[in-house]
A and B are shown apart, each in its own frame.
Chain A
Amino acid sequence: MKKLGLIVNPVAGMGGRVGLKGTDGPAILEQARELGAVPEAPGRAVEALGRLLRLKDTFNLVTYPHDMGENEARRAGFVPTVIGLIEPGRTTGEDTRRAAGDLMDRGVDLLLFAGGDGTARDICTAVGAGLVAVGVPAGVKIHSAVCATTPRSAGDLAALFLEGKVTRVREAEVMDIDEEAFRAGRVSARLYGYLKVPHEAGMVQSLKAGSRGGEESALDGIASEVIDRMEDGRLYVVGPGTTTRAILERLGLPKTLLGVDVAQGGRLVAGDTTESVLLSLLESGPARIVVTPIGGQGFIFGRGNQQISPRVIRKAGVDSIIVVATMGKLVALGGNPLLVDTGASDLNGDLSGYVRVITGYRQEVACKVASYT
Chain B
Amino acid sequence: MKRRLKERYQAVAWQEPIILELGSPGERGVLVPEAGEEIERVAGDVLASIPAEVRRKDVPRLPELAQPHVLRHYLRLSQMCLGTDLNLDISQGTCTMKYSPKVNEQMAALPEMTELHPYQDDDTVQGILEIMYRFERILKEISGLDRFTFQPGGGAQGIYTNACLIRAHHESRGDKQRNEIITTIFSHPADAACPATAGFKVITLMPDENGYPDLEALKAVVSERTAGMMITNPEDTGIFNPRIREYVDRVHDAGGLCSYDQANANGILGVARAREAGFDMCHFNLHKTFSSPHGCAGPASGAVGVTAELARFLPVPVVEYDGKRYRLAYDRPDSIGRVRGFLGNIPVVLRSYAWSMSMGPEGLRMATDISVLNNNYMARKMAAIPGVAIPYPRASHRLDQIRYSWEPLRQATGVGTHDVRRRMVDFGLQSYFESHHPFVVPEPFTLEPCESYSKDDIDEYVEVLRHIAEEAYTNPEIVLTAPHRSTISRIDESALDDPERWAMTWRAYLKKRKKR
Contact = CB atoms under 8 A, between A and B. Distances in A.
Interface residues on B, range: 20 to 34
Contacts of A330: 206
Contacts of A152: 414
Nearest to B437: A211
B438 A331 contact: yes
Nearest to B184: A366
A330 B201 CA distance: 19
A328 B438 contact: yes
Contacts of A334: 442
A363 B181 CA distance: 10
Contacts of A331: 438-440
Nearest to B391: A335
Contacts of B217: 354, 366-368
A338 B440 CA distance: 16
Contact of B438 (A160, A327, A354, A367): A327
B136 to A, nearest CB: 35
Interface in A130-185: 150, 152, 160, 165-168
A207 to B, nearest CB: 10
B494 interface: yes
Contacts of A202: 418
A28 B498 CA distance: 46
Contact of B214 (A209, A356, A368): A368
B254 interface: no
B204 A213 contact: no
B276 interface: no
A233 B410 CA distance: 52
B437 A150 contact: no
Interface in A187-212: 200-202, 208-212
B131 interface: no
B497 A213 contact: yes
A254 interface: no
B203 A366 contact: yes
B209 A362 contact: no
Contacts of B218: 366
Give the most central of B204, B209, B414, B442: most A CB within 10 Å: B204
Nearest to A364: B203
Contacts of B439: 208-209, 331
A353 interface: yes
A209 B202 contact: no
B196 A150 contact: no
B48 interface: no
Given A152-B414, A354-B217, A366 B437 contact: no
A354 B213 CA distance: 14
Interface in B465-501: 492, 494, 496-498
A212 B498 CA distance: 9
B379 interface: no
Given A150-B414, A200-B494, A335-B207, A366 B220 contact: yes
Given A165-B494, A166-B494, A365 B203 contact: yes
B248 to A, nearest CB: 17
B494 A353 contact: no
A362 B202 contact: yes
A132 to B, nearest CB: 16
A77 interface: no
Contacts of B496: 212
Interface in B91-150: none
A354 B220 contact: yes
A153 to B, nearest CB: 8
B205 A366 contact: yes
Given A200-B494, A328-B438, A365 B204 contact: yes
Interface string B156-197: 000000000000000000000000000001000000100010
A26 interface: no
Contacts of B216: 354, 368
Contacts of B336: none
Contacts of B202: 362-364
A357 to B, nearest CB: 9
Contacts of A150: 410, 414
A335 B209 contact: yes
B473 to A, nearest CB: 15
A363 B497 contact: no
A164 B143 CA distance: 54
B438 A168 contact: no
B366 interface: no
Give the most central of B196, B209, B437: most A CB within 10 Å: B437
A363 B438 contact: no
B494 A363 contact: no
A60 B492 CA distance: 24
B221 interface: yes
Nearest to B196: A362
A214 interface: yes
Contact of B497 (A201, A365, A367, A368): A201
Contact of A366 (B201, B204, B494): B204
A214 B203 contact: no
A367 B201 contact: no
B488 to A, nearest CB: 17
A353 B437 CA distance: 26
Contact of B201 (A201, A328, A364, A368): A364
A132 B492 CA distance: 22
Nearest to B217: A366
Nearest to B189: A211
Contacts of A214: 497
Give the most central of B185, B214, B217: most A CB within 10 Å: B217
A367 B216 CA distance: 10
Contacts of A366: 203-206, 214, 217-218, 220-221
Nearest to A367: B206
A368 B217 CA distance: 7
B227 to A, nearest CB: 13
Interface in A217-265: none
B437 A209 contact: yes
Nearest to A156: B480
Contacts of B207: 335
Interface string A74-91: 000000000000000000
Interface string B276-290: 000000000000000
Nearest to A214: B497
A356 B202 CA distance: 11
Give the most central of A150, A167, A354: most B CB within 10 Å: A354
A356 to B, nearest CB: 6
A268 to B, nearest CB: 29
Given A354-B217, A354-B220, A335 B497 contact: no
B203 A356 contact: yes
A200 B410 CA distance: 19
Contacts of A166: 494
B204 A363 contact: yes
B438 A211 contact: yes
Interface string A341-369: 00000000000011010010011111110
5 contacts: A200-B494, A202-B418, A211-B437, A363-B202, A365-B205
Interface of B: 185, 192, 196, 200-207, 209, 214, 216-218, 220-221, 410, 414, 418, 437-440, 442, 492, 494, 496-498
Interface of A: 150, 152, 160, 165-168, 200-202, 208-214, 327-328, 330-331, 334-335, 353-354, 356, 359, 362-368
5 closest A-B pairs by CB:
A354-B220, A209-B438, A366-B217, A165-B494, A362-B201
Given A353-B220, A356-B221, A364-B202, 14 more contacts: A214-B497, A354-B217, A354-B220, A354-B221, A356-B203, A363-B196, A363-B201, A363-B204, A364-B204, A365-B185, A365-B204, A366-B206, A368-B206, A368-B216
